[in-house]
Amino acid sequence: MTLISLGDALSLIIDHRGKTPKKLGGDWSQFGHRVVSALNIKDSQVNSNDHHYIDEALYRRWMQNPLHKGDVLLTSEAPLGEVAFIDKEVDWALGQRLFALRSKPDLLDGRYLFYLFKGGEPRHELFSRATGTTVSGIRQAELIQIELDLPSLPEQRAIAAVLAALDDKIASNRRAVGILEEIRILEFHRLSTREGFAHAPLSSLATTTKGVSYKSVDLLLSLTSLVTLKSFDRKGGYKPNGLKPYVGRYKPSQVIEPGELVVALTDLTQGAEVVGRAVRVPADQSTEVLVASLDLSIVRPKTGVFYEYLYGILTSDDFRQHCRSRTSGTTVLHLASDAIPAYVAPVVPRNIQARYAEMVRPIIARTDALEREVLKLDALRDLLLPSLLSGRMHVPEAHWATR
C-alpha cells in the first residue's frame, strides 16, 4: 500500500466551486454544450434535471481542459460529497459547486477513485475537512490534502472491476424495468384510446383513502413503517429507502398491502415531479406493517375492476397531467382533495379488462423480480465496498491482469 495525498495522485483538478456559465436564451439542446452542476449529481449518476446549455465559443473559453473518460465528478457543497464517474467521452461544461478530478494514470485508477469517494475512508475525511454552518462545503486547498492509501494499480483496477460489475448489473436491471414499464404503459394507451368506451369519474371505479397524520414523536424504532413522499422516485417508481419507522396510531384502511397503489398528494420539487404520481408498494422484509403517510392516498379498485387496469389509469400521462393541473401552492404543491376521484377515466368492459390484465401481469411480475434483484445487488455492493477498499478483503491476484 502507498500513502499519498489526493493532490499528488491527480494530474488535473477542474474547480468550478463558485461559478457557472450564463445560460443561453432559447432552446440550444441540439447545438449547445450541456452545463452540469452539483444539482445534477445524484445517486452516483449525472441526471437529466435542470437543462442548461452554452454555445461553442463559451464552451471553449470555459472548458480549456475538457472532461475525459475516466474523470470523477465530486460536488463541493449543497450537497457535499455526491460523486459520479464519467465512463464515456462527453462535451459537458462544468457548473458551480463541482470538482472534476483526473487521476495520474500510472498511479491511480479513475474508477477506483470514484469508489473511494463513494464509500471509502477518503469520503469520511472529505466530510471531516468540510467547513460551514448553514451549508457544509470543502475548498480545493483542503480537498487535495485528503490521504489515499493505495494498493498497486493492477489491484485497484481489479477491485474497481468487481464493484463496477455489480453496478453495471444494477443499471442493466433498471433499464430493463424501464423498458417493461414503457411496454405496459403503451399497451394501456392502446386499450384506453379505443373508440366506443364510455367515460366516468374515477370514483366509480376506485376508492381513495388518505394516509395518516403524524408527529416527529411518532417516528421511533418499530416494525411498522410509513410510506412517505421519499418513497417516490422523481422519474417514476418506488424507492424503498423512503420508509420511516412509526409507532403512532392508524386505521386499518391506512395499511398498505403489498402491491397496492398510492398517489402522491403533495410535492416539494419545483417542477411538480412527484405530485399526482402513482407507485406500486412492494412487500418489504425490513418491516411488518406499511402505513400510508398524510401526503399519500391509497387507491383501490372497486368490485369488478381489475387491479392491472386501475394501475394503467393511474400511471397514464393523461392522469398525471390532470393532477398537475389541479395543484396549488408555492413552496409546497398540494393536490386538490377531489382531483383523484374527479378524474374522468375510460370505462372498459370487464372481459376486455381481463384480457389486458392477463397480458400485463407477467410484465409486472418480471418488473418485481428485477427490482428485488436490484435490492440484493445494492446490499451486496455496499457490503463489499468498504471491505475491498480497506484491504480487509482482496481480489485474488490471479484476476488482476484480466481487469
pLDDT tens for each residue of 32-86: 888 998 889 988 999 877 668 888 888 999 999 999 999 999 999 989 999 999 9
Q: Are 323 and 231 in contact (CB under 8 A)?
A: no
Spell out where 77-170 has E strands. 80-85, 93-94, 98-103, 147-150
Question: Of the candidates 186, 215, 218, 205, which has an alpha carbon nearest to the alpha carbon of residue 359?
Answer: 186
Residues of the chain with pLDDT under 50: 403
In the prediction, which pLDDT does 85 show? 97
Which tens digit of pLDDT belongs to each residue from 307-343? 999 999 999 999 999 999 999 887 888 999 999 999 9
Give the three-class secondary structure for 382. helix
Q: Are 6 and 145 in contact (CB under 8 A)?
A: yes
In the prediction, which pLDDT does 236 show? 80
Whether pTM exceeds 0.75 = yes
In the prediction, which pLDDT does 133 show? 75
Which uninterrupted H or E stretch holds 226?
strand 224-227
Which uninterrupted H or E stretch holds 290?
strand 289-292
Query: d(Cα 69, Cα 89) in Å, to the nearest integer?
Result: 5
Query: d(Cα 359, Cα 372) in Å, to the nearest integer?
Result: 22
Spell out where 104-201 has E strands. 147-150, 198-201
Alpha-helical (H) ranges within 110-152 are: 110-119, 121-129, 140-143
In the prediction, which pLDDT does 271 show? 73
